[in-house]
Amino acid sequence: MYSIPYLDLPPLGHAAGTVQLPGSKSISNRLLLLAGLSEGTTTLVDLLDSDDTRVMLAALRTLGCAIVQDGRLTRITGFAGRPQVASAELFLGNAGTAMRPLTAALAVLATQQGGAAYTLGGVKRMHERPIGDLVDALRGLGCTVDCLGTEGYPPLRVAGGTLDLAAPVKVRGDVSSQFLTALLLALPLAATDRAVTIEVVGELISKPYIEITLNLLARFGIAVERQGWERFVIPAGSRYVTPGEVHVEGDASSASYFIALGAIAGVDAPVRIEGVGAASIQGDIRFKEAAEAMGAVVHAEPNALEIRRGAWPLKAIDLDCNHIPDAAMTLAVMALYADGPSTLRNIASWRVKETDRIAAMACELRKLGATVEEGEDFLRVEPLARFQPASIHTYDDHRMAMCLSLAAFNRLNPAGDGEHAVPVRILDPKCVAKTFPDYFEALFSVVEARAADIPVITIDGPTASGKGTLSASVAAQLGWHTLDSGSLYRVTALAARRAGVSADDEQGLAATARAMQLRFEGVRVLLAGEDVSDELRDEAVGMMASRISAWPAVRAALYDLQCGFRQLPGLVADGRDMGTVIFPDAGLKIFLTATAAARAERRLNQLIAKGISASLDDLRADLEARDERDRTRATAPLRPAEDALRLDNSQLGIEASVQQVVAWWNARQPFDAR
Ligand SMILES: Nc1ncnc2c1ncn2[C@@H]1O[C@H](COP(=O)(O)OP(=O)(O)OP(=O)(O)O)[C@@H](O)[C@H]1O
Ligand SMILES: Nc1ccn([C@H]2C[C@H](O)[C@@H](COP(=O)(O)O)O2)c(=O)n1
């Protein structure tokens, strides 16, 4: 996951490959609650691991469930309708799928257990999301529910009361279907002696989510009788019975981003999505039909989808999106690539989600340059001929981040010239943790970008100037990859030494460099499967690396390997010739220096930390000799690129150096501060 303030997406190109979807959030949190309420142990396979499921798991633990997580399996031993604690304060983040059903379940349980009292709260936005319709329904049933802040909003306290099930329980269905889901999940706890009827007031929205609820209830032994979409009867004698093992299918809403990706960029080969398909019980699977209406070519298997681009530009649509409320957001961004204005209707529920998604989507699409009309319950988006670079606010809303990432395909824009392309900055990218923590990693694994579009910062300089340290920290701040090019010369030196190849044998060394079987695992370097990272830092290996790196054939042998590190979303490369030879088109080049005295002292401290003693004078003499050789060799000598910025960190701390480089980088980016 990218836990950084912003992630810049360079202009992206074609897409192909396979994505494994994380488990469905809606199914995961429903299953967790059902397992928690049941007697016995339920094993959930491929449960979603995200912010929203973590708060549900924590709440269930607090209430007395035993939970064991073991790889793909989560085993939950339920509290069988009797929480182990009579009072608890539950923090539920911004997870509506936890807040609503837990409120209902605990309100009902609190009526059955004298003295029980539970409070349920979350983050600030959760306290702005209405829950009044559910509170009214529960109070109508005889539960005692207090709103601790604003009436009709969390935080809530449920405590005591007397259930009266004689009359049907009434609940509004036109703001959020989660209120009905909450009652459907909670009321089997009360339907022991008599059937309980729920009546929906108003037109029920998001019906597919109710189908998921009914489907999962059935698996736990509760066969709800549905009478149209107005009445639901929970049979007398209801009792939750664990089905044993349940597999969590992939998240159909999350699939929408990759379906869109195939429709926009699946040009030569399809994008394959595994984990969800035609057999899905999730309503958002019908996003597939909306994408097909826009031109996508979709091949559906029971548990997988393959998507290719069909019509291009995409076809504009005018669609009632009530049946795919979450996935429909993705259509708003696809509309930028369409052949006319697209209208998404019946989406009023967007306004009470993680953020007011109609307002947020309109605002962010306009930043890209789009013309957008926003109504109480609709959004009309015109195709965009020329995208503007934009810094996208994500409103702590995972779907805003994932949808807007699709704007990075603007190089493919059918109304564009194929040349004009802009990056997209996604602010607070870690908000995807709510449902899809590794979304951006998954995206980068199936998309391509022109090498020239992938940003590079080079950091060259003499030995022990702090290149590696600076490079790693800048890369961590930007979410980029690193290339420690010195380690490639060092590993060549080590491989040659082991193979008995002389430092004077240019062709033998080049052959050694080409034949090396290397693997990089983070900062670790593996040579023929052996982790040689520590050995590479030997002073003798460094000295030999300096000698062999003077040979043009050795440098040529390592050229392609180094270029291959230029991968999405960006690269910070350090060495001697990064800015002059390997990445001459880098967007920012730094020449990092420090006095020989400072560098020798840093090296000494490094050795002392490793328990190795050395003389400061010897170290200084060695590094000066190495610098001299690196500077004076004929091929790719150590020198600043003409357009490099110089940074002397003799007196500048690591953090200050990092902030300086990031500031230089940002000053060159096209994003404004909106
Ligand atoms: N600005 C700084 N101030 C003080 N110490 C620093 C600074 N930058 C780096 N160092 C320290 O200097 C030492 C050498 O840093 P580093 O290994 O990053 O240098 P390098 O240029 O990559 O070296 P080499 O060329 O040998 O690979 C490390 O112990 C590091 O913590
Ligand atoms: N781009 C590079 C990187 C390194 N070298 C050579 C010269 C250095 O003395 C030696 C070891 O590098 P270090 O790990 O100390 O950065 O490798 C080079 O020629 N070009």
Instruction: Indicate which atom in ligand 2 lies nearest the CA of residue 464.
Output: 15
Cα–Cα distance list, 414 to 42, 233, 256, 453, 568 (Å): 50, 52, 21, 19, 23
Q: Which of 421, 448, 475 is the last residue of a domain?
A: 448
- 18 and 29: one domain? no
> For ligand 2, atom 8, which residue shows the shortest CA distance?
546
Residue 507 Cα to ligand 2 midpoint, Å, equals: 19
Q: Which of 201, 221, 247 is the last residue of a domain?
A: 247
Residues 169-197, mean pLDDT to the nearest whole number: 93
- 173 and 300: one domain? no
**Residues marked as binding for ATP?**
461-469
- 243 and 272: one domain? no
Q: Is the CB of 589 under 6 A from ligand 1?
A: no
Q: Residue 31 maps to which CATH number?
A: 3.65.10.10
| Paired tokens of 125 | 């936005």
Please check whether residue 259 lies inside any domain of the structure.
yes
**Residues carrying an active site annotation:** 326
Please check whether residue 493 lies inside any domain of the structure.
yes
Ligand 2, CB within 6 Å, residue ranges: 463, 485-487, 489-490, 542, 545-546, 549, 575-578, 626, 630
Contact predicate 307/19, CB 8 Å: no
- Percent of the chain at pLDDT exceeding 70: 100
| Full domain range(s) for residue 288 | 6-22+251-448
Number of domains in the chain: 3
Residue 501 Cα to ligand 2 midpoint, Å, equals: 19
Q: If you search the block for the tokens 């489907």, which residue do you land on?
A: 215
- 282 and 219: one domain? no
Q: Is the CB of 599 under 6 A from ligand 1?
A: no
Measured CA to CA, the distance from residue 214 to residue 619 in angstroms comes to 73
Residue range 138-156, pLDDT digits in tens: 999 999 999 999 999 999 9
- 482 and 579: one domain? yes
Q: What pLDDT does 208 receive?
A: 85
Please check whether residue 646 lies inside any domain of the structure.
yes
- 478 and 357: one domain? no
Higher pLDDT, residue 160 or 73: 73
Q: Which of 198, 216, 247 is the last residue of a domain?
A: 247
Q: What pLDDT does 234 receive?
A: 97
DSSP state of 584: T
Instruction: Indicate which atom in ligand 2 lies nearest the CA of residue 546.
Output: 9
- 546 and 598: one domain? yes
Please check whether residue 673 lies inside any domain of the structure.
no
ipTM of the complex as predicted: 0.98
Residue 611 Cα to ligand 2 midpoint, Å, equals: 24
Measured CA to CA, the distance from residue 206 to residue 323 in angstroms comes to 5
**418 pLDDT higher than 90:** no
- 387 and 425: one domain? yes
Q: Which of 518, 545, 509 is nearest to 638 (CA)?
A: 545
Instruction: Indicate which atom in ligand 2 lies nearest the CA of residue 549.
Output: 19
Residue 546 Cα to ligand 2 midpoint, Å, equals: 6
- 202 and 228: one domain? yes
- 207 and 314: one domain? no
Please check whether residue 34 lies inside any domain of the structure.
yes
Please check whether residue 672 lies inside any domain of the structure.
no
Residue range 363-390, pLDDT digits in tens: 999 999 999 999 999 999 999 999 999 9
- 459 and 516: one domain? yes
**Which one of 467, 482, 549, 602 would you pick to mutate in the ligand 1 pocket, going by the greatest count of ligand atoms within 8 A of its CB?**
602
Worst-scoring range by mean pLDDT, 317-321, 410-414, 525-529? 410-414
Please check whether residue 498 lies inside any domain of the structure.
yes
- 211 and 274: one domain? no
Burial class (CB in 10 A: 0-12, 13-18, 19+), 144: middle
Please check whether residue 674 lies inside any domain of the structure.
no
Q: Residue 530 maps to which CATH number?
A: 3.40.50.300
